[in-house]
Amino acid sequence: MIRADSQPFLERLIGLSEVFRAPLSPAAQQMYFEAVQDLPLSPVLAALNTLARTAKFLPKPADIRALVEGDAETRIEQAWLTWRTAARRIGSYRPVVTADPVLAETLTAVFGGWAQACGADYSAEMWASKRKEFGRVYQVLAGRDLRGPRELPGLAPGRAVPLEAPPSTRALEAGC
């Protein structure tokens, strides 16, 4: 979110706090915004709507984040599907850029980089092993404070292609 997103976010948050009869001070409102500021506005608003329907008490910022981001296994699976789908669509020749620094660093740690990840040719058993390794590495790197987009070079120079989540996981991001 950007600073301009604070108004729609705070309007929804204040409405939610009124539903639960738990008024929030301006300082608490600011803390809520800062706690979820790195997330996109639309899924955050969708999470607040979901919490209005399902929560029994005023949710904490961590509850909002959990709905938007999913649990660790969901994030790992989303990253794996994003990579596998993009590898088939883009291939190893073109460089890619991803907003998920954990995914970029995981591909580098597990495979050596984008081109190597796309060119990997393993048996079914080895792919199962690589998938488990990917999950373990992703979880460790997710615990670090990695920020900012990452560009991964392909085999040929060129303009980087954005690495996007496949359509099936975009619904998770949108809070659907």
Q: Residue 170: its pLDDT value, please?
A: 45
pLDDT for 22 equals 94
0.85 exceeded by pTM: no
* CA distance between the termini of the chain: 19
> Of 123, 135, 136, 153, which Cα lies nearest the Cα of 78?
135
Dihedral (Cα; 134, 138, 140, 143), 10-degree rounding: -170
Mean pLDDT of the chain: 89
Whole-number pLDDT of residue 166: 65
Q: Is 29 exposed, middle or buried (0-12, 13-18, 19+ CB in 10 A)?
A: middle
Which pair of structure tokens corresponds to residue 124? 């079914």
Residues of the chain with pLDDT under 50: 168-176
Three-class DSSP category at 71: coil
